[in-house]
């Protein structure tokens, strides 16, 4: 069953509103965003209650930090500034002058009853923000399109693409699963693999686009190892994970990427993840769950 044009247009507006709301709440590139304001007041001052979306994001980050033994930790803002990542001049703070704060243990103190939080160090919510935007947009679409009992998922599907991170429900337009191509992180025109997925999400961490040179001429990228404060990867160019939830797919890609090429196969297999990765020599690896989904590589 197809969605009529008016319904599709309204649904697309819903998606745009969700992403705009997340941007206004969590973007480090907007000095007026809620997270920018919270970062300006941290880590020394207690703060008033934050919005429900920001509270959910921060709580998820803390859960992800514990689940990944600290490999996923958003307290990397000062590291990105030190390395010269763009997007900080707009905040009115001179890059590299922010306090490091406490980057050991929990990333925040919080009160669930009134959503009051105090950050122990400055945070960057870019990656998890995109995953949450996909989670919430999918929820809004499901509510709006409200699949009726006589239609069901076998007849209609949806896919939302946020810069290469995806969430999908139901069938593709041809009635089968969605076919997802993994981009060549070396910039080649052909994908490195194609796999099929019906319901769930896909996230990728890659150094192909967000890389730059420091003032000393060193090539660096945005995936930071929270333990060292330096770019992570250890011989990896990209990591892709398929997972039911887009925010957690983002968490697992970052965690595996930070772990590096030597551990990714064993750790991804042990966690039961459908994961694909490309190492520094351009070689493709994948877990057994990923292999069962792959139709071309």
- Could you read off the pLDDT of 47-93 as tens digits, one per residue? 778 999 999 999 999 999 999 999 999 999 888 888 887 554 344 45
For residue 278, give the nearest of 231, 248, 233 by alpha carbon.
233
Same fold for the domain at 5-127 and the one at 157-296? yes
**pTM for this predicted structure:** 0.90
Q: Which CATH class is domain 157-296?
A: alpha beta
Q: How far apart are CA 150 and CA 72, in angstroms?
A: 42
Q: How far apart are CA 7 and CA 18, in angstroms?
A: 17
For residue 247, give the nearest of 181, 162, 156 by alpha carbon.
162
Percent of the chain whose pLDDT exceeds 90: 59
Residue 105 has pLDDT above 90, yes or no: no
The pLDDT of residue 152: 46
Q: Which residue has the higher pLDDT, 98 or 84?
A: 84
* Cβ partners under 8 Å of residue 160, min gap 6: 15, 134, 137, 138, 141, 166, 167, 168
Q: Which residue has the higher pLDDT, 257 or 84?
A: 257
The pLDDT of residue 207: 86
pLDDT category at 221 given cuts 50, 70, 90 is confident
When computed from its CA atoms, the radius of gyration of the chain, rounded to whole angstroms, is 20
pLDDT category at 46 given cuts 50, 70, 90 is low
Question: Which range (87-101, 156-170, 212-226, 228-242) has the least confidence?
Answer: 87-101
The burial class, CB within 10 Å (0-12 / 13-18 / 19+), for 26 is buried
Q: How far apart are CA 78 and CA 70, in angstroms?
A: 17
For residue 107, give the nearest of 116, 120, 98 by alpha carbon.
120
Q: How far apart are CA 205 and CA 189, in angstroms?
A: 18
Domain ranges of the chain: 5-127, 157-296
Residue 107 has pLDDT above 80, yes or no: yes
pLDDT (mean) for 210-226: 81
Q: Which CATH number fits domain 5-127: 1.20.1270.360, 2.40.50.100, 3.10.520.10, 3.40.50.720?
A: 3.10.520.10
Q: How far apart are CA 278 and CA 296, in angstroms?
A: 15
Residue 197 has pLDDT above 90, yes or no: yes
The pLDDT of residue 87: 52
* Cβ partners under 8 Å of residue 226, min gap 6: 70, 71, 72, 73, 75, 76, 103, 258
Dig out the tokens for 187 from the structure: 């910039």
Q: Where are the beta strands (DSSP E) in the chain?
A: 108-111, 116-119, 158-162, 165-169, 178-182, 193-197, 200-206, 211-213, 219-221, 236-243, 274-279, 284-286, 294-296
The pLDDT of residue 48: 73
Q: How far apart are CA 156 and CA 147, in angstroms?
A: 8
pLDDT (mean) for 36-42: 87
Confirm if 159 and 168 have CB atoms less than 8 A apart.
yes
CB atoms within 10 A of CB 89: 10
The pLDDT of residue 209: 75
Q: How far apart are CA 202 and CA 7, in angstroms?
A: 26
pLDDT per residue as tens digits for the range 108-159: 888 888 898 989 889 999 889 999 999 999 999 888 876 433 444 446 788 9
pLDDT (mean) for 273-296: 97
What DSSP letter does each residue of 80-119 carry, written as one string? HHHHT-SS-GGGTS-TT-S-----SS-SEEEETTTTEEEE
The separation between the first and the last C-alpha atoms of the chain, rounded to the nearest angstrom, is 33
pLDDT (mean) for 240-259: 97
CB atoms within 10 A of CB 146: 8
Residue 175 has pLDDT above 50, yes or no: yes
Phi, psi of 29, deg, nearest 5: -90, -5
Q: How far apart are CA 149 and CA 270, in angstroms?
A: 39
């Amino acid at each position: 069953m197809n969605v009529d044009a008016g319904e599709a247009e309204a649904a697309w507006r819903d998606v745009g509103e969700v992403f705009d709301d997340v941007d206004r709440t969590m973007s480090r590139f907007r000095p007026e965003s809620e997270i920018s304001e919270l970062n300006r007041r941290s880590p020394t001052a207690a703060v008033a209650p934050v919005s429900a979306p920001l509270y959910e994001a921060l709580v998820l980050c803390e859960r992800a930090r514990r689940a990944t033994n600290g490999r996923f930790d958003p307290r990397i803002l000062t590291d990105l500034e030190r390395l010269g990542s763009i997007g900080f001049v707009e905040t009115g703070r001179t890059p590299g002058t922010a306090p490091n704060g406490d980057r050991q243990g929990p990333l925040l103190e919080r009160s669930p009853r009134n959503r009051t939080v105090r950050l122990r160090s400055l945070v960057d919510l870019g990656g998890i923000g995109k995953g949450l935007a996909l989670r919430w947009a999918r929820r809004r679409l499901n509510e709006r399109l409200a699949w009726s009992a006589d239609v069901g998922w076998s007849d209609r599907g949806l896919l939302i693409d946020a810069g290469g991170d995806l969430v999908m429900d139901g069938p593709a337009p041809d009635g089968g699963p969605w076919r997802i191509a993994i981009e060549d992180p070396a910039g080649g025109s052909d994908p490195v693999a194609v796999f099929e997925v019906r319901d769930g999400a896909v996230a990728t961490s890659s150094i192909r686009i967000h890389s730059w040179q420091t003032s000393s001429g060193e090539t660096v990228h945005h995936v930071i190892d929270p333990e060292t404060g330096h770019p992570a990867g250890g011989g990896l160019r990209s990591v892709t994970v398929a997972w039911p939830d887009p925010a957690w797919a983002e968490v697992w890609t970052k965690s595996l990427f930070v772990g590096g090429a030597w551990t990714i196969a064993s750790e991804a297999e042990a966690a039961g993840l459908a994961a694909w990765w490309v190492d520094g020599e351009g070689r493709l690896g994948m877990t057994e769950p990923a292999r069962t989904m792959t139709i071309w590589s």
